[in-house]
């Protein structure tokens, strides 16, 4: 269970970056970023997460200075950043394909930001040596980037963006080109660097598990708007709307209508005579159409469903074996993509595809969200 950091991140490190009312359009017709307000605090690891075209990269590019906001302001502490050219912002940046200079050695790449800052040679030597040790690539100092593996290139890119001790590090899908295993290893490495060096990081990705693993807070983008900005735990457990619920983690959705509301709880009818209790989302009232969101791991089967307040009949369509757990695809109320996730130990081997079984869940595991 991830540790809930809600309180920590709202302790009082001062805001480092503030977006106020930022809009961006490329064609003058539709907005890529709409009325963005975002505060990034000192020492925070904030991830901008969203599908491609959601505006997250544009936000990063505006922060880096490669794009100019069409309206609104970006502040670094009290300084308005809009008119500061990118090379004067003193932000480290890691690019999607690392952008290591192919005609320079590893060492020259890392030294480059120190050279542009006209740092004395002795001091630069010391810093480069230090950071090469940190990324454990001292023996590769004289190599060309193309002679390194993907993971090593990634570390060099990271070292190059950190060696001049920037006040903010921007990362634009830096792990996208790595294979799964290496990516997970690098996620942890970056996270540990962040903690050890007290960096402030803005990280862009479309990979939700990456966002959940690394971040203090995640801003979920869609259609140029931040749908929700929260800790990983809250995003997963308390999605603000159907998009977030769908985008973060696996999710079953059922279209229904709200029958009654009682405090935070409500009753929703769906399908042909089915109904369930649920937690009600913001702005919904009796009679509204809604979209129910249930995580597959909250759905219990047959015996485990005993004693739960919501129990419904479903038909097994398929078993998908995944080693540590089993996914059971069921047909529930006409939706035959309804997934339940069962630990292998809890599985009753007598079940067969085509059997009718009982699914069960608690009211708290279901969220009635906007129907859009």
Partner 1 sequence: MSANLTATMSPAKPGGNLKAQLRRAERLRKLKAIGLVAPLALFLIVVFVVPIGNMLWRSVDNTELDSVMPLTAEGLRHWDGSGLPDEATLAAFAAELRDSRQGGGLGRISRRLNYEDSRYRSLLMNTLRGLPTVDAVGPDTDWVATLAEIDPAWGETETWLGIQRTAPTTTDRYLLASLDLQRGADGEIQRVAERDRLYLSVFQRTLVIAGGVTLICLALGFPLAYLLATLPAKTSNMLMILVLLPFWTSLLVRTAAWIILLQSNGLVNQSLLFTGLIDSPLQLVFNRIGVFFAMVHILLPFMVLPLYSVMKGISPSYQRAAVSLGAHPFAAFWQVYVPQTISGVAAGTILVFIMALGYYITPALVGGPADQMVSYYVAYYTNTTNNWGMAAALGSLLLVVTLLLYLVYHRLVNRKQLIRS
Q: Give the nearest distance from C-beta 301 to partner 1 in angstroms.
A: 49
Nearer to partner 1, 77 or 117 (CB): 117
- For the record, the structure tokens of 10 come out as 């709202």
Q: Give the nearest distance from C-beta 119 to partner 1 in angstroms.
A: 10
Nearer to partner 1, 90 or 233 (CB): 90
Nearer to partner 1, 67 or 365 (CB): 67
Report yes or no: 50 and 221 within 8 Å, Cβ to Cβ: yes
Nearest partner of 318 among 329, 331, 326, 327, judged by Cα: 329
**Residues binding partner 1 (CB under 8 A):** 64, 66, 85-93, 95-97, 99-105, 112-113, 116-117, 144, 160-161, 164, 170
Q: Give the nearest distance from C-beta 97 to partner 1 in angstroms.
A: 7
Q: Tell me the C-alpha distance between 310 and 328, whole Å.
A: 18
Q: Give the nearest distance from C-beta 99 to partner 1 in angstroms.
A: 4
Nearest partner of 361 among 281, 252, 246, judged by Cα: 252
Report yes or no: 305 and 357 within 8 Å, Cβ to Cβ: no
Nearer to partner 1, 100 or 301 (CB): 100
Around Cβ 230, how many Cβ atoms within 10 Å? 22
Q: Give the nearest distance from C-beta 87 to partner 1 in angstroms.
A: 5
Nearer to partner 1, 91 or 361 (CB): 91
Q: Which residue has the tokens 């209508």?
A: 257
Q: What's the full length of the chain, in residues?
A: 372
Report yes or no: 12 and 181 within 8 Å, Cβ to Cβ: no
Q: Tell me the C-alpha distance between 53 and 222, whole Å.
A: 8
């Amino acid at each position: 269970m991830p540790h809930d950091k809600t309180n920590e991140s709202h302790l009082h490190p001062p805001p480092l970056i503030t977006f106020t009312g930022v809009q961006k359009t490329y064609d003058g017709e539709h907005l890529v970023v709409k009325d963005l307000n975002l505060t990034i605090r000192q020492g925070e690891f904030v991830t901008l997460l969203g599908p491609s075209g959601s505006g997250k990269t544009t936000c990063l590019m505006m922060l880096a200075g490669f794009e100019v906001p069409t309206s609104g302001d970006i502040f670094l502490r009290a300084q308005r950043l809009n008119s500061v050219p990118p090379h004067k912002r003193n932000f480290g940046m890691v690019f999607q394909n690392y952008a290591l200079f192919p005609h320079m050695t590893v060492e020259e790449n890392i030294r480059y930001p120190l050279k542009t800052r006209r740092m004395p040679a002795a001091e630069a030597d010391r810093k480069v040596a230090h950071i090469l040790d940190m990324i454990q690539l001292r023996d590769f100092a004289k190599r060309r980037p193309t002679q390194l593996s993907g993971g090593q290139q990634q570390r060099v890119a990271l070292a190059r963006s950190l060696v001049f001790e920037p006040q903010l590090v921007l990362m634009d899908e830096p792990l996208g080109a790595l294979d799964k295993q290496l990516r997970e290893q690098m996620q942890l490495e970056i996270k540990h660097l962040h903690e050890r060096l007290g960096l402030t990081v803005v990280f862009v990705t479309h990979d939700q598990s990456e966002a959940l693993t690394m971040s203090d807070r995640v801003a979920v983008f869609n259609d140029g708007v931040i749908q929700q900005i929260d800790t990983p735990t809250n995003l997963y457990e308390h999605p603000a709307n159907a998009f977030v619920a769908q985008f973060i983690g696996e999710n079953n959705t059922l279209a229904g209508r709200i029958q009654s509301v009682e405090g935070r709880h409500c009753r929703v009818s769906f399908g042909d005579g089915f109904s369930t209790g649920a937690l009600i989302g913001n702005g919904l009232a009796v009679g509204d159409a809604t979209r129910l969101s249930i995580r597959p791991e909250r759905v219990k089967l047959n015996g485990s469903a005993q004693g739960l307040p919501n129990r419904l009949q479903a038909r097994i369509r398929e078993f998908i074996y995944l080693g540590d757990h089993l996914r059971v695809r069921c047909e529930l109320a006409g939706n035959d993509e309804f997934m339940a996730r069962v630990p292998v130990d809890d599985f009753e081997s007598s079940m067969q595809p085509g059997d009718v079984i009982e699914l069960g869940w608690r009211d708290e595991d279901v969220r009635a969200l906007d129907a859009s």
